[in-house]
Copies of this chain bind each other. A is one copy, B any other.
Amino acid sequence: MDKNEKLPARTVERLSKYRRLLYKYRDLEEAHIFSHKLADLFNITPEQVRRDLMLIGLTGNHRKGYNIRALIELIGNTIDREGSQHVALVGIGNLGKAVLGFIRKAETRMNVVAAFDTDNNKVNTTIAGVPCYPAHQMDQIIREKTIHIAILTVPPESAVQTAILLQRAGIKGILNFTSVHLDVTSDIYLKNYDIITSLEEIGFFI
């Protein structure tokens, strides 16, 4: 599928989730799954699942559903880029370490190749398998290692300034954990994990 063809963000998100759930079945032979079963697992409608999979050119078999291996492969062909994608982690506090641990354990082509911090006890060491560089080398290392994605886990007071530096260094996507509003240019794909907002949303709906 042409990578440039526009898929909705929600579809990409769901495709990524479907795949990770399906990974656990892929050692089975000839395994199939119905759209309504996938739908149940994610609390969405079967129509939604079928629509998502139709968008990547897959239709299920009425008697058996979708072939799981074919599904995993097609999702990969659609949402993965060639090879692994280089990611930088900026800020190695408790949160940064936890995020590194998550990524390390997960099966993904996302590859954290550099971490940055200002703490002299951390720089020039290796943390969870990732080399840690001083913050002032950020621009240089990001360019050298062709990193396009950054995970922002710095303290809130450093968030805005760090985001500016990341943009200048050529970063194209940011996963922002700081709960700070970042005013990035439109060519940056920004995703915010805003813990307080999420808690308030939960508080409202329960």
| A residues apposed to B, CB below 8 Å | 7, 9, 12-13, 16-17, 20-21, 41-43, 79-81, 85, 87, 93-95, 97-99, 101-103, 105-106, 108-110, 148-149, 151, 153, 156, 172-175, 179, 181, 183, 186, 189, 191, 193-206
Contact = CB atoms under 8 A, between A and B. Distances in A.
A178 to B, nearest CB: 9
Nearest to A195: B102
| In the complex, the 4 A-B pairs of residues with the closest C-beta atoms, listed nearest first | A95-B98, A173-B202, A172-B206, A94-B98
A199 B103 contact: yes
A94 to B, nearest CB: 4
A130 to B, nearest CB: 14
Given A183-B41, A205-B9, A205-B173, A200 B98 contact: no
A3 B93 CA distance: 38
Contacts of A101: 94
A196 B205 CA distance: 26
A198 B191 contact: yes
Given A99-B195, A175-B202, A193-B193, 9 more contacts: A12-B200, A13-B201, A17-B181, A80-B200, A85-B203, A87-B199, A94-B94, A105-B156, A110-B203
A109 B173 CA distance: 32
Given A16-B196, A94-B98, A95-B98, A149 B106 contact: no
Contacts of A87: 199
A77 to B, nearest CB: 12
Contacts of A201: 9, 12-13, 16, 191
Given A98-B93, A175-B195, A196-B103, A21 B202 contact: no
